[in-house]
Structure 1
Amino acid sequence: MENLLCFYIFSFWIFFLIVKLSLAADTITPARSIRDGEKLVSSSQTFELGFFSPGNSRYSKYLGIWYKKSPETIVWVANRNSPILDPSAVLTVSSNGSLVLLNVTKGIIWSSNISRKVENPVAQLQDTGNLVLVDVIRKNTSESYLWQSFDYPSDTLLPGMKVGWNLKTGVEWYLTSWRSADDPSPGNFTSRLDIHVLPEICIYNGSVKYFCTGPWSGVAFVAAPSYTNFLYNQELAHNQDEIYFSYESYNSPSIMMLKLNPSGTVQRLIWNERNAAWDVVYSAPNVCGVYGKCGANSICILDKGPNCECLKGFKLKSQDNQTWPGKCERSHSSYCKSGDQFIKLDGIKAPDLLQVSVNDNMNLKQCEAECLKNCTCRAYAYSNLTEGSGCLMWFGDLIDISKTLGNFTGQSVYIRVPALGPGKKKLLWITIIAVLMAVLLPAFYIFYRWRRKLRESRFAERRKVEISQDILLLDTNMSIATRETGNSKESCLPFFSLASITAATDNFSGENKLGEGGFGPVYKGKLNNGEEVAVKRLSSQSGQGLEEFKNEMMLIAKLQHRNLVRLFGCCIEHGEKILIYEYMPNKSLDCFLFGLLGWEMRVRILEGVAQGLLYLHHYSRLRVIHRDLKASNILLDSNMNPKISDFGIARLFGGDELQSNTKRIVGTYGYMSPEYALRGLFSIKSDVFSFGVLVLETLSSKKNAHFYNTDSLTLLGHAWNLWNDGRAWELMDSILQNDASYPMLNRYINVALLCVQENAADRPTMLEVISMLTNENVILPSPLQPAFSHVRIAENSSLPANCEVEACTVNCLTLSAMDAR
């Protein structure tokens, strides 16, 4: 009995010691140290601290911190200037309370250098990646830290870390790159918060500026990507004690960091759990981001070749010297004598704040007047971008101006240029009138002869002239429509002869007919080179006409993307209007929505459609609104890659245009957004609504327009009811039960419901949709009730009587109108 009691006591002490050791796995005390091969691990198992050899280095070792899931990615190094050559080195807390790294002879390799003696010091690796030294007698708060690694950043900015200044002590927090991938000693590049005039973050190569973000706008730095704002919250804090920039993940504890590389590039990295790798969501600088790349008084435009050009009112000093940075000089010698004016540059990264003045009490009109008074004032803009107020004026040369891309934030700057004098204006008007006369007189003469010929000819001759007019109009438009972005070359869309199309389709035989839609019949054809094509022929009974034909032809010729259907050419002989497309052997998506597609294939198709829409909305030369996105307009090639088709009713938007309206509402009811169906308003959010419907249809294998349920009349309402009841997975097609990823399914349904919300402003953009679908670290907002949740939808198809409404589309589409009830 006595032996048994001793055994229990001994077992209890062993258990107590094990628990104590496990609880202390993230701390170091004077009684505990770590050596090579041992580690500290934060309590949440997120970060580790230990000894490492960088890159291909074998003999030098360093003390560092890294993410446990990515040990090769070091986020902090203690002894950057003092590599460890002694395998017996140890990290411990000294008797006076400092954290020290000792060699075998007790010599100090590195120390935290605490100035005062501490009675009960403890070093702890926190879940934020911060290594802190505290006195356990005092309360464990950030104010009681005796020392912390966050005050001594290496090359990585973690969430919660600061870049900026301690205004009381004068200490600066900044990043310093590694010298190379194998050497963590301080390299040439530093990233600092520049607080000269307006705060901005700049990268320096030694003491020379290499890149600057642009000033703080109130929510982010100008010229930074706007799509990252929903991944993390950025803050610029300014009080009497400190001014600093920091960020926090919206999806804590999301694994992310900002890293300054040895080459001088800074990257925003987010851990991808699915691929167990880092995703680069932002990298700078690009070609135009390099500081002063184009020289003074010039602008860099990334999507234009060459990238550099002088600002308006300036010219390149030497035309023989085509290398940049060039020297742009004033093109008007009487600058500031005959009166000046300002031109507005939108969406740019403003000039560097070298010689500037700021007056926060002025409005923009007062700012302009003040700038005009001083001949050395070259430009002005708002000083407070958040509130749209204040006056910021530039003096001297303008340096480091670049045009921001569509998904990057920018600002408006007013550049000073010479105004045209009376003599110049008179000469300009004389030139304009002369040119107009030279152009209009021959045009009127040709028009008169053409009208006279038209009256005298027979009906057949009149028809021939009309066709020639169509060809001339289409030829002129196509030379514009097919101009390649960023290239001075022009590629003409091929015009096929009617004879070649007739031969390819066997004289439009019924055996080659693939289907028929609102445009007309579609035939399978084979060109002389053996390539299979889909031939879409405008029917005389079609509700569509020349405008839709030209619209589709010009748009598709202008757009180039792997998820958009490819147009090979057209034919407009003898009154025919024919479009020749690439042939899609797997027909359209609506043929596969009923038990024929697996989970991975459905996800792949939806992501492809999303990429195609993203291109149309953000990355094509002009913003395109499709207006009729639906399953029958998603064609599938031989590898089941999706391609968006039918641009007959698509609309082009200019760079600043966000919304338009129409009295002619066309499309397919069930996919239309409420603002378009009821008021004729359409924007990129109209296509987002259609995409949300398409996602729900693809996941459920049910059509929104033909779905009826006892609780809801539409698929949107059914999905909403299941979502509110916590049974969203029941929406999934039953054949996917053993195949689908339920967390991913839930994410897709959540995103789809966000896309079909009643208010267009509440819906995400396609850029945000793709990020939410592909990034598991993004916390999704809760959707509001969808539009048309309990409204009966009827689709008025324009298919002929011998085709059923449920029939799938083959290389064609239907143009459906809204059925009023």
Structure 2
Amino acid sequence: MKAFVALSMCLVLFTCNALVSNALDTITTNQSIQDGESLISAGETFELGFFSRGDPPKRYLGIWYKKITTMTIVWVANRVAPLADASGTLRVTTHGSLVLLDGNGSDTWLSNAPIPVRNPVAQLLDSGNLVVRDAEGSDPNNFLWQSFDYPTDTLQAGMKIGWNRTSGFNRYLKSWKSIDDPSPGNFTFQLDPNGYPQLLLKQGSDIKFRTGPWNGLRFSGTPYLNTNPYYRYEFVLNEEEMYYRYVLLNRSVTSRLTLTTNGIIQRFAWIDRTQGWMLYITSPIDQCDNYASCGAYASCRVDTSPVCRCLKGFVPRFSQELDMLDWSNGCVRRNPLDCEKDIFVKYSWLKLPDTRSSWFNESMNLQECEVVCMKKCSCMAYSNLDIRNGGSGCLLWFSELVDIRGYSNYGQDLYIRMAVSESALLPSHHKKHKLVMGLAVFFGSVFLILVLTIRLLQCKKKKMKLPEAKWDSFESGDNCEKPKEDLELPLFDLFTVARATDNFSTDNKLGEGGFGPVYKGVLRDGQEIAVKMLSRNSRQGLHEFKNEVLYVSKLQHRNLVKLLGCCIEEENLLIYEFMPNGSLDSFLFDPMQRKRLDWSTRFNIIKGIARGLLYLHQDSRLRIIHRDVKASNVLLDYEMNPKISDFGLAKSFTGNETQANTNRVVGTYGYMSPEYALDGVFSTKSDVFSYGVLVLEIVSGKRNRGFHHPDHRHNLLGHAWRLFTEGRSMKLLDKLVENSCSTSEALRSIHIGLLCVQRCPNDRPSMSTVVMMLGSDIELPLPKEPGFFIERNLLQESTSQSQPNEMTMTVLSAR
């Protein structure tokens, strides 16, 4: 009997030690985790256990979010040695190592424990860090081993990317091989220790993207890393370590940074309300983020065409290559250097060049930095290391300057070594040069005053100047304040425009819109122009004319139409660059012309419009809501590249504004978002809705408004939604592009279009997210029901068809 009791107690003790309850976050050397069991962190934030991936399925030990419904893996132990079946066991050895055993008891994965301890335990922390420590201590500095030192594809809050400079240990992200294969892929994201450290995204040994050096606030090439109440970004560089990490300031926020299988860096935040991950940062974001895309001594800007330009004082290395838009060989100095006589020219608003061949000193000031660089003939440029508090520290470059990016309202100053013959690029240089410049300014000012006086007299004589009363006569409403700054736009006289258009001949008339007629013209220098005339009986007025002048004159982007000038004499005229292929709707909805829009052209148009809207919403000098995105307001150049036009209804936001209300709802039916059409509330998400409608129209070749289908009475949005929910989205595709179509691009475009037209503005993606989704193959969230997802009443439908562009609403002024 005693023997039986003793045996029973032994069995109970063995069972308690061998098995782990799901409520435990720690195991000892006497315990284990078997497939089907798990560890859960104390706050139930993370879970460690076994999961399957691949076909046939393979078993992996990993960590994922416990409370998040979408299983999101953040770390994998045995990514290079998966288990063939569900027989895996995780143990802690008496030497302080973690070991993963297969069904035969063989080691498939083993952690290292450099310092043996008496009583080791393994614990899953609420940060998602799996650690091995002494049972008697919890000091992070004394961990024997931690998963945070061995990241896979995800950077979690508190995890470091970087080097231990004493031991040479390197922490970096390595992508999964595929969505279903956690084994190491071909992309890495790591801190490069050469020169002044910077984060590099690599595909194998090739650099794909570079963040630029840390400037005290963020990396030079990551303007989106702004201070906020949720995160603190840290960059540490001392004798022992160099690393980057982010720290959560609000524990209620769940965020992760992931390196995707196709080499895209994405930061997500979990949104409880939608039960989904929201993507809000991605890199690279556009072609200017591609490493060294413009070569040496050239700056890349997405708001110019071409995007690559030689810095001032430099010329293309091989001009013939530029005819083929090949900038890989970059630029060279216009005049050779002469070490002792060289000068330094300041270039502003830049992402600083590649720093792998740089030298730095944290204690120097900018003047001392210039002295050191001047003494070393091989020093090509210098800059401040830290931009805070007026700037400090010294950063020197000793090789060609590559991977430079220009910004319109962000960036740093870079001082580049130039030949003394380039002194004209300086604001002043030496006393003699200052005197020459002073005299030049003086005489230039006199000449300018003389020219302006003559011009004003001419304007007064010809009544070219727009009277103040004319500006003041704008009706009250959105954007009706008197302009606070001068128009940055050339004035054309009426005679010049009339001669260019053959006196506004009907033979030169291109069409007519809500603003008025549009004419083609040719200036005396041969430049083709399009002239938009404000009609006296136009539904739009001086308000829209002023909007167009104020906004478009400040916008420069390859996917926005360029306003060349205006005329404000007897007629109000806007002069644009000529778009030979006219508007998108003249192709898209014409049975014959639509044949010219093959799939590659349509997809290029979809992406181009997205880039243009992203510039308006995020990168332009003003945050602009277009408010009338539609097919007829997209013009096509010689190569069928899209350019957004017609900013008469646009509205700008300043500061932290994100949305506004209006009593004057304007726009086009079929493209207006529900919150704008019904309540007058507009934001960037209003443009996103219109863009989504346009995407579905481009894919299908059908208009949203007036769409009819024999099986139902939905508009195009409802039809697309029905097909999507039934898994038949390809039925939406225009039959004319079936043979030229990329199925994956078409399905992705439809999916993104439906995400953009979701009823709730908060559910719609931003344009930066749209651009990223169009340029990658990341998994997309499921869209919710679109706005205006209702079936038409036949009587209302009949009435609306009789007046296709107008509807009686108290607050509506439709076009």
Query: One fold, TM greater than 0.5?
Result: yes
- Indicate how the Cα distance of structure 1 residues 250 and 444 shifts in structure 2: closer, same or farther if over 3 A, else same: closer
CA contact (8 A) 1:474 1:550 kept: no
Provide, for residues 356-406 of structure 1, a one-character-per-residue CA deviation record: whole Å limited to 9, x for no partner. 333445432343344344443321111333351233222231122112464
- Indicate how the Cα distance of structure 1 residues 633 and 375 shifts in structure 2: closer, same or farther if over 3 A, else same: farther
CA contact (8 A) 1:178 1:261 kept: yes
Q: Which amino acid aligns with 1:224?
A: T
The 3-state SS of whatever aligns with 1:234 is strand
CA–CA distance in 1 between the matches of 2:359 and 2:265? 30
CA–CA distance in 2 between the matches of 1:423 and 1:142? 58
Provide, for residues 783-817 of structure 1, a one-character-per-residue CA deviation record: whole Å limited to 9, x for no partner. xxxxxxxxxxxxxxxxxxxxxxxxx97769xxxxx
Match of 1:635 among 637, 641, 665: 665
- Indicate how the Cα distance of structure 1 residues 640 and 572 shifts in structure 2: closer, same or farther if over 3 A, else same: farther
- How far the C-alpha of 1:431 sits from its partner, in A, is 13
- Indicate how the Cα distance of structure 1 residues 48 and 431 shifts in structure 2: closer, same or farther if over 3 A, else same: same
The 3-state SS of whatever aligns with 1:555 is helix
The 3-state SS of whatever aligns with 1:214 is strand
1:402 lines up with 2:401 in the alignment: no
Question: What's the Cα RMSD here?
Answer: 5.3
Partner of 2:521: none
CA–CA distance in 2 between the matches of 1:263 and 1:613? 27
CA contact (8 A) 2:665 2:813 kept: yes
CA–CA distance in 2 between the matches of 1:72 and 1:61? 15
Provide, for residues 554-579 of structure 1, a one-character-per-residue CA deviation record: whole Å limited to 9, x for no partner. 12555899xxxxx9x9997979999x
Q: Which amino acid aligns with 2:48?
A: L
1:555 lines up with 2:553 in the alignment: no
Provide, for residues 294-352 of structure 1, a one-character-per-residue CA deviation record: whole Å limited to 9, x for no partner. 22222221222222222222211222213434324534344327944433222211111
CA–CA distance in 2 between the matches of 1:271 and 1:361? 41
- Indicate how the Cα distance of structure 1 residues 38 and 577 shifts in structure 2: closer, same or farther if over 3 A, else same: same
CA–CA distance in 2 between the matches of 1:217 and 1:450? 50
Partner of 1:291: 291
1:390 lines up with 2:393 in the alignment: yes
CA–CA distance in 1 between the matches of 2:333 and 2:115? 66
1:59 lines up with 2:57 in the alignment: yes
CA–CA distance in 2 between the matches of 1:83 and 1:128? 25
CA contact (8 A) 1:177 1:262 kept: yes
- How far the C-alpha of 1:432 sits from its partner, in A, is 13
Partner of 1:308: 308
CA contact (8 A) 2:78 2:109 kept: yes
CA–CA distance in 1 between the matches of 2:395 and 2:57? 54
Partner of 1:485: none
CA contact (8 A) 1:616 1:624 kept: no
Q: Which amino acid aligns with 1:555?
A: L
Partner of 1:318: 318
Partner of 2:245: 246
- Indicate how the Cα distance of structure 1 residues 373 and 290 shifts in structure 2: closer, same or farther if over 3 A, else same: same
Q: Which amino acid aligns with 1:206?
A: G
1:257 lines up with 2:295 in the alignment: no
Which aligned pairs between 1:600-615 and structure 2 lie closer than 5 A? none
- How far the C-alpha of 1:131 sits from its partner, in A, is 1.1
CA–CA distance in 2 between the matches of 1:422 and 1:117? 66
- Indicate how the Cα distance of structure 1 residues 377 and 626 shifts in structure 2: closer, same or farther if over 3 A, else same: closer
- Indicate how the Cα distance of structure 1 residues 419 and 429 shifts in structure 2: closer, same or farther if over 3 A, else same: farther
CA–CA distance in 2 between the matches of 1:23 and 1:221? 42
1:224 lines up with 2:222 in the alignment: yes
1:495 lines up with 2:495 in the alignment: no
CA–CA distance in 2 between the matches of 1:186 and 1:132? 22
Partner of 2:741: none
CA–CA distance in 2 between the matches of 1:305 and 1:464? 32
Partner of 1:364: 366
CA–CA distance in 1 between the matches of 2:220 and 2:153? 23
Partner of 2:176: 178
- How far the C-alpha of 1:48 sits from its partner, in A, is 1.3
- Indicate how the Cα distance of structure 1 residues 334 and 44 shifts in structure 2: closer, same or farther if over 3 A, else same: closer
Q: Which amino acid aligns with 1:185?
A: S
The 3-state SS of whatever aligns with 2:369 is helix
CA contact (8 A) 1:379 1:416 kept: yes
Partner of 1:32: 31
CA contact (8 A) 1:164 1:174 kept: yes
**% same residue:** 34
Match of 2:144 among 131, 143, 146: 146
- Indicate how the Cα distance of structure 1 residues 617 and 275 shifts in structure 2: closer, same or farther if over 3 A, else same: farther
TM-score normalised per structure 2:
0.55
Q: Which stretch of structure 1 is more off in the superposition, 366-375 or 613-622?
A: 613-622
Which aligned pairs between 1:512-551 and structure 2 lie closer than 5 A? 533=539, 535-536=540-541, 551=546
Match of 1:345 among 344, 347, 360: 347
The 3-state SS of whatever aligns with 1:306 is coil
CA–CA distance in 1 between the matches of 2:70 and 2:654? 46
The 3-state SS of whatever aligns with 2:176 is strand
CA–CA distance in 2 between the matches of 1:465 and 1:112? 79
Provide, for residues 127-180 of structure 1, a one-character-per-residue CA deviation record: whole Å limited to 9, x for no partner. 1111122332x2233244332211211111111111222234332222222222
The 3-state SS of whatever aligns with 1:61 is strand
Task: Say how many residue pairs are matched.
Answer: 537
Provide, for residues 190-211 of structure 1, a one-character-per-residue CA deviation record: whole Å limited to 9, x for no partner. 2222233323222233334332
- Indicate how the Cα distance of structure 1 residues 176 and 163 shifts in structure 2: closer, same or farther if over 3 A, else same: same
The 3-state SS of whatever aligns with 1:320 is helix
1:282 lines up with 2:277 in the alignment: no
CA–CA distance in 2 between the matches of 1:244 and 1:124? 25
CA–CA distance in 2 between the matches of 1:536 and 1:87? 73
CA contact (8 A) 1:98 1:113 kept: yes
- Indicate how the Cα distance of structure 1 residues 89 and 476 shifts in structure 2: closer, same or farther if over 3 A, else same: farther
1:378 lines up with 2:380 in the alignment: yes
Q: Which amino acid aligns with 2:355?
A: L
CA contact (8 A) 1:292 1:325 kept: no
CA contact (8 A) 1:132 1:148 kept: yes
TM-score normalised per structure 1:
0.55
* Largest Rg, 1 or 2: 1
Q: Which amino acid aligns with 2:125?
A: Q
Partner of 2:74: 75
- Indicate how the Cα distance of structure 1 residues 352 and 104 shifts in structure 2: closer, same or farther if over 3 A, else same: same
Match of 1:162 among 148, 160, 163: 160
CA contact (8 A) 1:314 1:328 kept: no
CA–CA distance in 2 between the matches of 1:809 and 1:24? 59
- Indicate how the Cα distance of structure 1 residues 38 and 332 shifts in structure 2: closer, same or farther if over 3 A, else same: same
- Indicate how the Cα distance of structure 1 residues 634 and 77 shifts in structure 2: closer, same or farther if over 3 A, else same: farther
Partner of 2:728: none
- How far the C-alpha of 1:550 sits from its partner, in A, is 6.7
CA contact (8 A) 2:212 2:219 kept: yes
- How far the C-alpha of 1:239 sits from its partner, in A, is 4.7
CA–CA distance in 1 between the matches of 2:465 and 2:399? 61
- How far the C-alpha of 1:183 sits from its partner, in A, is 2.0
- How far the C-alpha of 1:82 sits from its partner, in A, is 0.6
Provide, for residues 585-640 of structure 1, a one-character-per-residue CA deviation record: whole Å limited to 9, x for no partner. xxxxxxxxxxxxxxxxxxxxxxxxxx998788654599967799985566366655
Q: Which amino acid aligns with 1:203?
A: L
CA–CA distance in 2 between the matches of 1:23 and 1:464? 81
CA contact (8 A) 1:154 1:177 kept: yes
CA contact (8 A) 1:617 1:624 kept: no
Partner of 1:415: 416
- Indicate how the Cα distance of structure 1 residues 262 and 439 shifts in structure 2: closer, same or farther if over 3 A, else same: same
CA–CA distance in 2 between the matches of 1:271 and 1:285? 22
CA–CA distance in 2 between the matches of 1:392 and 1:213? 16
Q: Which amino acid aligns with 1:38?
A: E
The 3-state SS of whatever aligns with 2:217 is coil
Provide, for residues 415-467 of structure 1, a one-character-per-residue CA deviation record: whole Å limited to 9, x for no partner. 23334489999x9999999999999999999999998xx6xxxxxxx889999
CA contact (8 A) 2:624 2:653 kept: no
Partner of 1:88: 87
- Indicate how the Cα distance of structure 1 residues 96 and 446 shifts in structure 2: closer, same or farther if over 3 A, else same: closer
